[in-house]
Structure 1
């Protein structure tokens, strides 16, 4: 079974090399639905090429976009209109968050790059009263439910790639050129640590090897 699954994953990797699509960007519209129609200051941690930061800027007074990779930050600046209320900064999620309180903090596929509980504690410190934190993360498959959801996502993943590329070969989006790292925590471990740092946080497994976390500051 393991050998068969490995073959399927390798075939899927070859397919996505021809028909790539950004699994993280798939959740951007969902993230926006968790947020108010208008808000003041926003922080996007692990901002990559700036796709989500630009969406947030349509609602926010200003957006701070933070990413540890200087190359992708430079590219994000190039892709963003000079008049957009976004400041792109090279920095670490634990030590370089621009000072102040934020009405919205988002973090997509980046929190597993740093110590998890420490990162959530930093986000909590910088979240304004009544503010909203939204995390889309990746976890290590461990439970039967994890493996079942992952298996169900394989055909849907291929279908989405075909639909998003309209059946045509394509180059990798800029958003997919940032460095990546495999997840080491299981979903159950994530839930346990998150609820210690953020009591009442809402976490859910999602398709395409992702989970979501939503929390509001009191």
Structure 2
């Protein structure tokens, strides 16, 4: 379609991050949980880690550990936080994390679809400290009328937001949008079903700009 081609060209000229769009929401969910030690899986160049760290105060310090498997992206993030003791960037994927560490909060933004869904949800649950919170902004494979209805307003709004956020024409995407990507394989129905089994009580919502959000709170150990 001519309109779709035009919109794609416009989006390339005025790129903006759908993931960063939800960064403030993710940071708010983490802050509301009272988390002190946060793991950001697939931290990219550290935009979310910066938001999470910024929520800290002298009375309630927060440490953020970012895992990033892509060498160039991890290097950029590590350089960014070289003088910030509250943020540590580790060049590693989720499978290479410290298996003995438990976290007050774990965040994944556009990362879960890179990993095997069911085993990863199970492992994420095991990585949470009692009362810990998992916050996911994820991508899903479109399949069905509800997905198409959600995609239509996103397609129309996307270039408008791009013009507002990035009015100057870009020759290339910004650095924080150059990490490797992958197409999601699971539908939102698949994700809901897996979460129902592995993360009972998880709250999942369909969101604008081809995203969904998931929030899960681990049980607080009695006594």
TM-score (norm 1): 0.91
Q: Which residue pairs with 1:33 in the alignment?
A: 28
Q: Does 1:66 align with 2:67?
A: yes
The CA distance in 2 between the partners of 1:8 and 1:198, in whole Å, is 41
The alpha-carbon deviation at position 81 of structure 1 amounts to 4.5
CA deviations on 1:12-46 (whole Å, 9 max, x unpaired) are: 22112210101100000111221235531100001
Q: Which residue pairs with 2:96 in the alignment?
A: 96
Q: Is the 8 A contact 2:16 2:162 kept in 1?
A: yes
Alignment size in residue pairs:
211
The CA distance in 2 between the partners of 1:9 and 1:49, in whole Å, is 30
The CA distance in 2 between the partners of 1:32 and 1:164, in whole Å, is 20
The alpha-carbon deviation at position 55 of structure 1 amounts to 1.3
The CA distance in 1 between the partners of 2:105 and 2:6, in whole Å, is 39
Q: Which residue pairs with 1:10 in the alignment?
A: 5
CA RMSD of the aligned region, Å? 1.5
SS at the partner of 1:35? helix
Mean CA deviation greater in 37-46 or 63-72: 37-46
Q: Which residue pairs with 1:52 in the alignment?
A: 48
The CA distance in 2 between the partners of 1:202 and 1:119, in whole Å, is 17
The CA distance in 1 between the partners of 2:181 and 2:111, in whole Å, is 9
SS at the partner of 2:209? coil
TM-score (norm 2): 0.89
Q: Which residue pairs with 2:168 in the alignment?
A: 168
The CA distance in 2 between the partners of 1:107 and 1:143, in whole Å, is 25
Q: Does 1:136 align with 2:137?
A: yes
Closer, same or farther in 2 for the Cα pair 1:85/1:205, shift >3 Å? same
CA deviations on 1:157-215 (whole Å, 9 max, x unpaired) are: 111101111x3223522210100000011001110011110001000110000000000
Unaligned ranges ≥5, structure 1: none
Mean CA deviation greater in 133-142 or 70-79: 70-79
Q: Does 1:212 align with 2:208?
A: no
Q: Which residue pairs with 2:86 in the alignment?
A: 85
Q: Does 1:178 align with 2:179?
A: yes
Q: Is the 8 A contact 2:37 2:104 kept in 1?
A: yes
